[in-house]
Structure 1
């Protein structure tokens, strides 16, 4: 599923997102039309300007859907289209998109959006951290500024791991989906705030080294070129998410990949997560992957669902397993 608000940048996003689609993938293009009543709740429903603006937004979205469909369709690909009108749906934009993705049984959701601070337009703003928290499948987020620049490549991929299985699953998903010619860099960030001098063998660094060793084994198993690095938070990057962004800029990453635990409701807002904070601040395309439900994944694969490769799911006999 490939979605934007108001149709803006849909064609460019579709071209980029198709790099993550496996052979025979089923694709749905979605343009979300905001509800003007969210922005101007005191305006009477009969206000002609409100109605005319809403009609125009629908027209623009329909035109964007048609253009994007023409751009990516081919002999073996007939994209579906959907106009998600929040005036009819009646819910928050992230919730509406989550429900649409679940109903369609999406295995990857690609979105583009402006940073919250610079968002303009009718209705709700499409916040990538909200989408990633609600949608239980991988989310590919592309900042709108990147779409507008036209610079979208996948030849330098930075993967952030934290020692969890989810992080390794995210690495596997990207390794399976992206071309073999890509150069890979896997990093583990040691938070200097948590470092306690005198701990035997420097526990944080040892945990990071073990996580990077497992990642290096996966790179080798998939036959990919790359390296690993243990990095620290610093005066330039005081938090883990800032350290990831700093390293992405320093190394010139064209895509950042990481896992997310998908926290929800009060726990999510109180604790947050590195993935959500990275989504909020990242200026580069970012692929975030939630924990994989192996049983559900197998059922979808048996049913022939689309975009399986974007979750690291390929033919069982050719997919290196996540290492123990």
Structure 2
């Protein structure tokens, strides 16, 4: 029996799960992980964004009014739509007989990553999804800057909790039928962390083992006028307080919970790497992070632990914004 049959008292489970797919290995890993954690009572909607015909349709000596161009574009659109439907057919097979209801849907006419993000955000919002699941392919910095990152953009824009599964993640065969066995929940004591833990509890039940972690960020200690040891002790005290609050919030789940203070290196390190290093060493199945939902200049200046985590993770991430619990 899937552990998600047993719900935490007073906590509404995640029953409407939307999974975005394409023909990549990342999508296949996302499907496998979603099938592993979905309750038999869940409703699953698998969506595929059909691309537009390539950029060659713009410019040149011909216009969209030319008959042969119009016919060629129509043929290309049909072909791309057929490819999307085939992708959906293959994806639906992963959930056959596993959930209360499973359906597939071709959405939008994507093309560029920004349009794909908009189509997925609209689809998740219109369907009132409890959870949006996507795969992630890691790219070099230049390519990511030019092409954008669908999963990274969704970390800010998704209207519901976002589960990101990297293409290199492989489910432990021994845990394939166990749901979530080991989960790391990062907290900094902030409201977004409280929201993230609240959302995670909608997926959790015994015998899941939980590990709440607080990162003592030592990267700025050297430049601080307060002596390093005193400042680190103050941060550690704040961390212990945040961890105690997290344990109290998680208590109704009935799951075994442990806590850990984690420190960054003094140089060339960040909170995202520290959380993920600890999670990998602990053999976690999932890492939970709250996001502040910052956009534009504020996010650029202040940085985003969640988006940095998307870029470098080798483990599935559950990202939860302030209003998504």
Pairwise TM-score range, normalised by the shorter structure: 0.7 to 0.9
Paired residues in the alignment total: 292
**Structure 1 residue 257, shift from structure 2 partner:** 0.7
**Structure 1 residue 20, shift from structure 2 partner:** 4.3
Structure 1 stretches of at least 4 aligned residues deviating more than 6 Å after TM superposition: 47-53, 148-153
Residue in 2 aligned with 1:96? 119
Out of 178-187 and 128-137, give the one that drifted further: 178-187
Residue in 2 aligned with 1:202? 233
CA distance in 1, matches of 2:284, 2:111: 40
Residue in 2 aligned with 1:59? 82
TM-score by length of 1: 0.76
Residue in 2 aligned with 1:302? none
Q: Within 5 Å, give how 1:3-82 maps onto structure 2.
A: 3-6=20-23, 10=27, 12-22=29-39, 24-38=41-55, 46=69, 55-74=78-97, 77-82=100-105
**Cα distance 1:147–1:99, how it changes in 2: closer, same or farther (>3 A)?**
farther
* Contact 2:40/2:99 (<8 A) preserved: no
CA distance in 2, matches of 1:128, 1:283: 14
SS of the residue aligned with 1:263?
coil
Residue in 1 aligned with 2:156? 133
Residue in 1 aligned with 2:187? 161
* C-alpha RMSD of matched pairs (Å): 3.6
CA distance in 2, matches of 1:242, 1:170: 19
Residue in 2 aligned with 1:319? none
1:246 aligns with 2:274: no
**Structure 1 residue 200, shift from structure 2 partner:** 7.4
Out of 133-142 and 87-96, give the one that drifted further: 87-96
* Contact 1:65/1:81 (<8 A) preserved: yes
TM-score by length of 2: 0.75
**Cα distance 1:38–1:260, how it changes in 2: closer, same or farther (>3 A)?**
farther
Residue in 2 aligned with 1:314? none
SS of the residue aligned with 2:90?
helix
CA distance in 2, matches of 1:134, 1:283: 22
CA distance in 2, matches of 1:188, 1:279: 19
SS of the residue aligned with 2:21?
strand
Residue in 2 aligned with 1:267? 298
Out of 164-173 and 13-22, give the one that drifted further: 13-22
**Structure 1 residue 194, shift from structure 2 partner:** 3.4
CA distance in 1, matches of 2:98, 2:284: 33
Once the two structures are superposed, residues 140-196 of structure 1 have per-residue CA deviations (whole angstroms, 9 ceiling, x without a partner) of 000122269988663121111111122123223223313412222111011113334
1:171 aligns with 2:197: yes
Out of 274-283 and 140-149, give the one that drifted further: 140-149
CA distance in 1, matches of 2:110, 2:285: 36
Larger radius of gyration, structure 1 or 2? Answer: 2
